[in-house]
Amino acid sequence: MLSFVGKRLGSLVVVLFFLTLLVFTLGKVADSDPVRTYVGVNASVEAVEAAREELGLDDPIPVQFASFVGGAVQGDFGVSLASKRPISDELSTRLPATLELAGWALTLTVLIGVSLASLYSRPGRIGAVLRFVFFSAASAPSFLIAMLSVLVFYKWLGGMLPAAGRSSYGPYDDGTGFYVIDGILHASPTYTWDAIQHLLLPALAASVGAGVALARVLADGISSSLSSPWARTARALGEREGTIVRRHALRNASSPALSLLAVQAGFMVSSLVVVEQVFSWNGLGSYLSSAIGVGDFPAIAAVCLILGAVYVVLNTLVDVALAAVDPRVRLS
């Protein structure tokens, strides 16, 4: 098991390296001059040269790449061309915001998936209606669900849930940036509950589609597990259906569900960019869309790298979880 994890970590480093290379190359071949973005259109020739040197763009390409990688490893992504501030400073509040939202969305995905999976197999009308409703929900794009949920929970239900921002109170000065955790650390139930309320709608919008897909795969897995020869063996040995589901079927059905979750997590990262816009969530997504608007390439590269890294790490975690669940993966 340890060597398996080691191998996975090794390939993770390789993938991240190539991701960095890709992002860097894109920046070089993109048809925009970063210096112009930095100094403005009307700057003098001298100012342009000075800025070029300041940004390190005089160096040979390999040297530029090396310093880019070196910086990225330490969390230094250079200076934003638009705001002239270090990108890492700007991201320090936004990264926790996105990670917190992503974490909640993933948790909700699993919750929705597991609870729907048990409803899915309901025979008769109720099951059919539920399947229809959730199918529609899954096929709607996340921004539509986001706007609908704002309409329902904020407008029609009289502000039952907040529809914008992360908190009614603002951040703690010495906080981690994860508001729910901050609230718990400061022993403030009001603050914590408020942060959770703010999280619910965006997390729901980002997780409905993934959750329904997960439910489907999980339900299929469980029902095929229950008709498998080893389930029959368990039955013949006197196990009750509930025991068979808990002891045997869930574990066997979770392999395909986990694989799907890894893919869905990737989609979720990109759908967060949109969801954050709708809910005025000050995270990486809204940062990215404003950076794209002004051609702030170092900022775009930084966000792409971080989102990519999150995706790769999630996938690695799922691979390890798969190996833990299915001995055939790690022992053959």
Partner 1 sequence: MADTTVLTVSDLTVTYRGRGRVVTAVSDVSLTIDAGRCLGLVGESGSGKSTIGAAVQGIIPADGVAEATGSIVIAGRELAPITDPAWTQVRGSDVTSVFQDPMRSLDPTMTIGRMLNRYTGSAEASVAALERVQIRRAGEVLKKYPHQLSGGMRQRVMIALALAPGPRLLIADEPTTALDVSVQAEVLGVLRESIEDAGCAVLFVTHDLGVARHMCDDIAVMKDGVVVEAGPAEDVIGRPSDPYTQRLMASRITLETDRSRPVGAPERAVVASMEDVLRGLDRPALDVTGAWSDGALTWEAFTGPTAAVGAASGHPEVRLVEHVTRASLAVNEVNKTYSTRARGRRVDNHVLKDVSFEIGYREAVALVGESGSGKSTLLRIAGGIETADTGTVDAQGVAGEGTQVVFQDAGASLTPWRTVEELLRERIEHTITGRGLSRAQMRAMALSTLELVGLDASVLAARPTQLSGGQQQRVAIARAVVVPPSVLLCDEPTSALDVSVACSVLNLINLLRHSLGISIMFVTHDLAAARLIADRVLVMTGGEIVETVPAERLAQDITTDYGRRLVDAVLA
Task: Report in angstroms how near the CB of residue 262 gets to partner 1 at its nearest.
Answer: 19
CB 79, min distance to partner 1, A: 44
Closest CA to 275 of 210, 213, 179: 210
Among residues 159, 158, 160, 188, which one has the least CA distance to residue 172? Answer: 188
Measured from the CB of residue 323, what is the shortest distance to partner 1 in angstroms? 12
Closest to partner 1 by CB, 49 or 239 = 239
Please say which residue, 42 or 227, places its beta carbon nearer to partner 1: 227
For the record, the structure tokens of 156 come out as 């029609």
User: Closest separation between CB of residue 118 and partner 1, Å?
Assistant: 18
Query: For the purposes of burial, counting CB atoms within 10 Å of the CB of 83, is it exposed (0-12), middle (13-18) or buried (19 or more)?
Result: middle
Which of 206, 244 has the CB closer to partner 1? 244
Closer to partner 1 by Cβ: residue 156 or 230 = 230
Q: Which is closer to partner 1, CB of 3 or CB of 44?
A: 3
Of 220 and 326, nearer to partner 1 (C-beta) is 326
Burial of 131-148, coded b for 16+ CB within 10 Å and e otherwise, reads beebeebbeeebeebbee
Give the chain's length. 332
CA distances (Å), 239 to each of 220, 221, 226, 229, 230, in order?
Answer: 21, 19, 12, 14, 12
As a whole number of angstroms, the distance between CA 272 and CA 18 comes to 24
User: Smallest Cα–Cα separation from 211: which of 319, 321, 137?
Assistant: 137
250: Cα separation from own chain's centroid: 25
Beta bridge partners of residue 79, listed in sequence order = 86
Closest approach of partner 1 to the CB of residue 6, in Å: 11
> 167 or 225, CB closer to partner 1?
225
Binding residues for partner 1 (CB under 8 A): 3, 228-230, 232-240, 248, 251-252, 325-328, 331-332
CB of 9: closest distance to partner 1 in angstroms?
A: 15
CB of residue 232 to partner 1, shortest distance in Å: 6
Burial 63-73 (b: 16+ CB within 10 A, else e): ebbeebeebbe
